[in-house]
Homo-oligomer: A and B are copies of this chain.
Amino acid sequence: MRSPQRATIVDVAQAAGVSVSTVSRVIREHADVGSETRAKVRAAIAQLGYRPSPIARALVSGQTRLLGLLVADLTNPFYPQLAKSIEDEAGKVGYTVVICNTSDKVSEVRRHLTRLLAQGLDGVIHASVGKDETTVLSALGDRSRVIFTNRPPSSQSVSYVVSDNFSGALALTRHLLARGHRQIGFIGGPPYANNANERLRGFEVAMREMDETQAFVVHKEFGRESGSSAVSDWLDHGSSPSAIIANNDTVALGAMEELTRRGLRIPEDVAIAGFDGTDFSASPVIGLTTVDQHSDEMGRLAVRALLKQLGSGTFVLTRQLLPMELLLRRSTEGSGRSGMGSDAGRAATDIGPRTVPVDQSGTDIPFG
């Protein structure tokens, strides 16, 4: 049952009656190799079932084709969606990605980075904490080996591909205002999450555009409990928003739970909306209005940008802001009769693209 000793390049060379360097050239489809020779080598390779050792290659090239992906919490469905897209894109060009759960802790980021580095990875996609560029950079030693996604870094001198959270929140809030809501609760995130901060800013700007509005803002972590506890905070202290915006879909679900528990109807008594566009938000059982992050595109672009950085000798800063999309569902739109079909909620409002000019210098321009 032992696996047969793998053939090495030397075996192939012998079998083909050529030198190892010739075999190496053939493998890498390098320059000029006589077509007969090439054929002989190819035959030998096929016959021996030879596969070059990635380890030996890595030793000499210094490249492992291993990418790290740091996510805040794999049990928040948004991250698996993102991870899938990243893996697909990376896989296409022969890269393997290692997903790491950070629980949004800088210490975990450091721990994983150390271990990954010890494994010899080439680069990192950071879709977690935020505001931790220093930690990341000091572990990696080189900003060309990392790209931030999902949450923008606080500095502008490191690459990122994130959503235009400000505009997304703006559009969502305006929509709720247009539907007549004036007292709106916002469940903000922890201070390190820049995407959450941007969303809050969008909310605040929209609220100020209108008179007679009242905003209730609390700050929480990203779990379901956060949603429940925010609702409790408000209802137990006499605040009664007619609509609630949660920082992400998971938190929104938690808020729905608490409202349900208290016998409040959604959206008749309280409307509710989230962010991210997770799959479950679309479920008719849940029917949650959300601002979609387009995780597919985000992941794809992040991988491409990172690979570009890794490849080119000179570092090229990437700074991309992706448009979000407002997906209206029952949780804000009213009871949308049972038979509304599976396309419900795809009546979307696209929030136009917006791109930040990239300048190589990487000066720290504040967001917005």
The segment from A34-42, A81-89, A191-199 that touches chain B is A81-89
**Residues on the B chain within 8 Å of A80, using CB:** 74-75, 79-80
The segment from A180-188, A202-210, A235-243, A255-263 that touches chain B is A255-263
The segment from A23-31, A135-143, A164-172 that touches chain B is A135-143
**Residues on the B chain within 8 Å of A118, using CB:** 51, 54
Instruction: Tell whether, in the assembled complex, residue A261 and residue B339 are in contact, meaning their CB atoms are under 8 Å apart.
Output: yes
The segment from A14-22, A214-222, A283-291, A300-308 that touches chain B is A283-291
Residues 76-119 (chain A) with a chain B CB within 8 angstroms: 77, 79-81, 83-84, 87, 91, 94, 96-101, 115-119
A357 lies within 8 A of chain B by Cβ: no
Cα A91 to Cα B53 in complex, Å, equals: 25
> Nearest Cβ distance between residue A158 and chain B, in whole angstroms?
11
Assuming A77-B75, A98-B97, A339-B261, is B144 touching A1 (CB within 8 A)?
yes
Instruction: Tell whether, in the assembled complex, residue B1 and residue A253 are in contact, meaning their CB atoms are under 8 Å apart.
Output: no
**Residues on the B chain within 8 Å of A285, using CB:** 253, 256-257, 260, 285-286
> Nearest Cβ distance between residue A334 and chain B, in whole angstroms?
16
Instruction: Tell whether, in the assembled complex, residue A84 and residue B101 are in contact, meaning their CB atoms are under 8 Å apart.
Output: yes
Instruction: Tell whether, in the assembled complex, residue A260 and residue B284 are in contact, meaning their CB atoms are under 8 Å apart.
Output: yes
A2 lies within 8 A of chain B by Cβ: yes
Instruction: Tell whether, in the assembled complex, residue B59 and residue A87 are in contact, meaning their CB atoms are under 8 Å apart.
Output: no
The residue from B54, B100, B256, B261 contacting A87, defined by CB atoms under 8 A apart: B100
> Nearest Cβ distance between residue A61 and chain B, in whole angstroms?
10
Cα A96 to Cα B119 in complex, Å, equals: 8
> Nearest Cβ distance between residue A243 and chain B, in whole angstroms?
17
> Nearest Cβ distance between residue A77 and chain B, in whole angstroms?
6
Instruction: Tell whether, in the assembled complex, residue A338 and residue B98 are in contact, meaning their CB atoms are under 8 Å apart.
Output: no
Closest to A74 in B: B80
Instruction: Tell whether, in the assembled complex, residue B257 and residue A284 are in contact, meaning their CB atoms are under 8 Å apart.
Output: yes
Instruction: Tell whether, in the assembled complex, residue B98 and residue A115 are in contact, meaning their CB atoms are under 8 Å apart.
Output: no
Interface contacts beyond A3-B141, A65-B119: sample of 13 additional A-B pairs, CB < 8 Å, sorted by A? A53-B59, A53-B120, A54-B119, A64-B119, A74-B83, A75-B81, A80-B80, A96-B119, A98-B98, A224-B283, A256-B285, A262-B339, A263-B339
